[in-house]
Amino acid sequence: MSGVLEEEAPKRFRWQFKLMEQETHGSVPHRSTYDGLEKIFEGWYIHEPLSYYDQGGLAALDKNYERVSKRIGYTVSIPGSLVTRLGYTLLNQERAEEAVGVFERAIKDNSSNADAYNGLGDAFKKLEKIEQAKENYIKSLELNPGNKNAKKMLTELGVDVSALIPDVTISHEILIKYVGIYQFYEMVIEIIQEEGKLYGIIQGQKVEFFPITERKFFLSN
């Protein structure tokens, strides 16, 4: 079969032959299906975005997703979480000026990205651009009142955060309705209620949920 494909397959036809010596007649269909899907969606998720960025900046990431979109047949945009993660990676490497541009791109793509505003605040703070840092920490805290880093940084910079965090009290009758076990993709989250507050047990860690309304909560991070 591989010989036929090598000679006859159209130029744009993507194929791969692999001898699975460790598999059996029963397990080959499962493994080959997984490998096939992995090949089809190659480039969909980038584990090391910094390697792309160092080769060609954000344009290199854009080109990757343009190729993926063309191959699959519909538009696949760069995940906001990937761009934000890249920004934090640059920050950790003391590349704050570059991180500013990356976080700004994440915000341009999604103006509700609280993590990106938080990262942009961190980047401006490292660059000693304090007023710009404050602006972005405030925006992050407005989007996610559970953002502990933004609260801490603003307090250190002399900003009273109490006015930025809505004081919402939810009745016990409402809170108790949320108690239970939830499946979020492959993650299991247990929601518990203690002393008028909701907490989540996520991978063994207890985190608090901050209410904005009776139906909208933010995760403390």
Which residue positions in the chain have pLDDT lower than 50?
Answer: none
Alpha-carbon gap, residue 119 to 127, rounded angstroms = 12
pLDDT tens-digit map of 6-37:
666 676 666 677 777 777 878 878 888 887 77
pLDDT at residue 1, as a whole number: 65
Q: What is the pLDDT of residue 114?
A: 94
Tokens representing 101 are 């541009």
pTM for the whole structure: 0.76
Is residue 46 within 8 Å of residue 60, measured between CB atoms?
no
**pLDDT score at 39:** 74
Assign 47 to helix, strand or coil: coil
What pLDDT score does 108 carry?
96
Specify the 3-state DSSP secondary structure of 176.
helix
Q: What is the radius of gyration, based on Cα positions, of the chain? A: 23
* C-alpha to C-alpha distance for 38 and 186, rounded to whole angstroms: 18
Domains of the chain: 2-40 (no CATH), 79-164 (1.25.40.10), 172-219 (no CATH)
Tell me how far CA of residue 130 lies from CA of 144, 154, 207, in angstroms.
21, 10, 30
Residue 185 CA from chain centroid, whole number:
14
